[in-house]
Amino acid sequence: MYDTVFKAATTVVEGRVVVRDVGVRRGVIEKIGAITDAAAALEVPCEGRLLMPGAIDLHAHLREPGGTRKEDIASGTAAAVSAGITTLLEMPNTNPPTITRAALAEKVAIAKRTGHCNIRFFMALTARNLDELEQAMDDPGFAGIKVYLGSTTGSILLTEFDPLTRALDRIPALFAFHAELESVLLDHRDRVPDPQAGDHHRLRPPEAVVEGTRLVLGHAATRGRRLHICHLSAAGELARLADATTGSRVTCEVTPHHLWFTHKDTAVKGNRLKVNPPVQGPEDRKALREALKNGLIQAVATDHAPHTVQEKDRPYAKAPSGVPGLDVMAPCVLRLVQSGEIPLPRAFQVLCENPASIAGLSTKGRVEEGRDADLALWDLDATWTVQGKDLGSRCGWSPFEGETLAARPLGVWVGGERRV
Ligand code: DOR
Ligand code: ZN
Ligand code: ZN
């Protein structure tokens, strides 16, 4: 007897699109194949529907503690689930920042009380917290180590590189980099007189991430470590990754906003598209889409970074950087499937399989017997024109308003339990 049987669902098994029954028991996918009608406590008819693993977001800022007017763990995880994401890795630039075991424990406790999906927490590397990081590593709530090579919203900038080399030598965890390099940012800070939102990409030019990527590739080579670069934004970064002989040791992610927009959109949308690293030119967007298709980029991640409308409505120089993304990540990728830009199995890879393997989540990310029943049911024929009122994030706005994406899921299960 299964708790739930998904009947005749379209899904992807071992890279191929197939139609199968999927039987779930005690939160685990127990059988994929033909399942007789009597064998289910609950049957979900899935003819013509897509059954995908819950998406895994490697990069979300949920603002708790310290910024809960923008978002908190309850509202962020609820927004994630309603958009087909069932696992999140959360970022450490909260207030206080997640740089101690105590701060990690506080987040884990809040998530246990209020969270709606699986969540783990990055800690940030500072000049002084190596021991804390080393001891936090075995905590099941620990996701990895975030390294800020340049300053950004509420950041914990790493100002010297010696702690990084020591951390890489000592701690066998996932390292994720915000790769805009501070020296390049400082060099360009005052280049535009009276800058506006449409100039944001000039103050933080592609060179900043190209140089940061070079530094990360160097560490991957000399330390023999697998490293991860967040939110790719520029064709130059991709060229560096493609050239690197150590390429396979570095994984990377791209956000929905970098796949969708360019600085021409920032000139129109203003601070609502002010984000670090900035969205760059049309040729950068084109290169990012191409790399998502051909595998040079392994994952899509939101970099969900909500701010209030009031904060975004300030003048350019005073408005915080960051855009929300949980509501739109999977709908963006499935929109690319609908328009024929990427094949369906590739969407499963970049939303589920690859993030699971990058994060070391060996029981997640695939429709496979023995894996966790974190699942989302989609109507791949349906579309959604994004409107503020539909959004789950507490911030209540999105740079995607007015864009047409794939419709959000019809049902979502976390550990076999229906949440949507
Ligand atoms: O635009 C950004 N906003 N980039 C970051 O790196 C941080 C983020 C935030 O937390 O708001
Ligand atoms: Zn970042
Ligand atoms: Zn971020």
Write the pLDDT tens digit of every residue in 214-233.
Answer: 999 999 988 888 899 999 99
Residue 246, pLDDT score: 57
**Greatest CA separation for the chain:** 72
Q: Which residue has the tokens 């029954």?
A: 21
Residue 155, pLDDT score: 73
Same domain, 185 and 285: yes
State the burial class of residue 194 (Cβ atoms within 10 Å of its Cβ: 0-12, 13-18, 19+): exposed
Same domain, 137 and 24: no
Q: Which CATH number goes with the domain that contains 319?
A: 3.20.20.140
- φ and ψ at residue 137, rounded to 5 degrees: -50, -35
Q: Is the CB of 305 under 6 A from ligand 1?
A: yes
- For 72-98, what is the HEC assignment? CHHHHHHHHHHCCEEEEEECCCCCCCC
Q: Which CATH number goes with the domain that contains 377?
A: 2.30.40.10
- Tell me, in angstroms, the distance from the centre of ligand 3 to residue 301's CA: 10
The confidence band for 247, taking pLDDT boundaries of 50, 70 and 90, is low
Domain-embedded: residue 126: yes
What is d(CA 359, CA 345) in angstroms, rounded to the nearest whole number?
Answer: 20
Q: Which residue has the tokens 């429709």?
A: 367
Residue 13, pLDDT score: 97
What is d(CA 220, CA 212) in angstroms, rounded to the nearest whole number?
Answer: 12
Cis-peptide, bond into residue 277, ω within 30° of zero: yes
Q: Is the CB of 312 under 6 A from ligand 1?
A: no
Q: Which of 61, 148, 157, 393 to mutate to test the pocket of ligand 1 (most atoms within 8 A of CB)?
A: 61
- Tell me, in angstroms, the distance from the centre of ligand 3 to residue 177's CA: 10
**Segments forming the whole domain that contains residue 13:** 2-51+371-384+406-418
Same domain, 77 and 195: yes
Same domain, 66 and 40: no
* Cβ–Cβ under 8 Å, residues 201 and 228: no
- pLDDT per residue as tens digits for the range 356-390: 999 999 999 999 999 999 999 999 999 999 999 99
Domain-embedded: residue 392: no
Q: Is the predicted pLDDT of residue 332 greater than 60, yes or no? A: yes
Instruction: Provide the number of structural domains found in the chain.
Output: 2
Closest among 222, 245, 217, 251 to 144, alpha carbons compared: 251
Q: Whose CA is nearest to atom 2 of ligand 1?
A: 322
The confidence band for 152, taking pLDDT boundaries of 50, 70 and 90, is confident
Q: Is the CB of 276 under 6 A from ligand 1?
A: yes
Domain-embedded: residue 389: no
Q: Is the predicted pLDDT of residue 64 greater than 60, yes or no? A: yes
Same domain, 129 and 206: yes
Domain-embedded: residue 414: yes
Q: Is the CB of 322 under 6 A from ligand 1?
A: yes
- Alpha helices by DSSP H, 53-205: 73-82, 101-114, 130-136, 162-170, 182-188, 200-203
- Tell me, in angstroms, the distance from the centre of ligand 2 to residue 281's CA: 19
Same domain, 104 and 202: yes
- Ligand found nearest the CA of 152: 1
**The pTM is what?**
0.98
Domain-embedded: residue 394: no
Same domain, 170 and 58: yes
Secondary structure of residue 334 in the 3-state scheme:
helix
Cis-peptide, bond into residue 399, ω within 30° of zero: no
Domain-embedded: residue 152: yes
- Tell me, in angstroms, the distance from the centre of ligand 1 to residue 179's CA: 12
Same domain, 80 and 222: yes
Sign of torsion over alpha carbons 301, 306, 312, 317: negative
Q: Is the CB of 94 under 6 A from ligand 1?
A: no
Among the listed ranges 89-93, 151-155, 217-221, which one has the minimum average pLDDT value?
Answer: 151-155
Same domain, 132 and 42: no
- Crossing angle of helices 162-170 and 206-223, in 10° steps, is 40
Q: Is the predicted pLDDT of residue 291 greater than 80, yes or no? A: yes
What is the mean predicted confidence (pLDDT) over 100-126?
Answer: 98
Q: Is the predicted pLDDT of residue 211 greater than 60, yes or no? A: yes
Domain-embedded: residue 395: no
Mean pLDDT of the chain: 96
Same domain, 101 and 124: yes
DSSP 42: E
* Cβ–Cβ under 8 Å, residues 230 and 207: no
Residue 248, pLDDT score: 59
- φ and ψ at residue 68, rounded to 5 degrees: -75, -5
Domain-embedded: residue 390: no
Active site residues: 303
Same domain, 31 and 78: no
Those residues with Cβ within 8 angstroms of residue 52's Cβ, 6 or more apart along the chain or in another chain: 11, 12, 84, 330, 347, 348, 351, 352, 367, 375, 376, 377, 378
- φ and ψ at residue 219, rounded to 5 degrees: -65, -40
Residue type, 70: K
Residue 160, pLDDT score: 85
Same domain, 230 and 323: yes
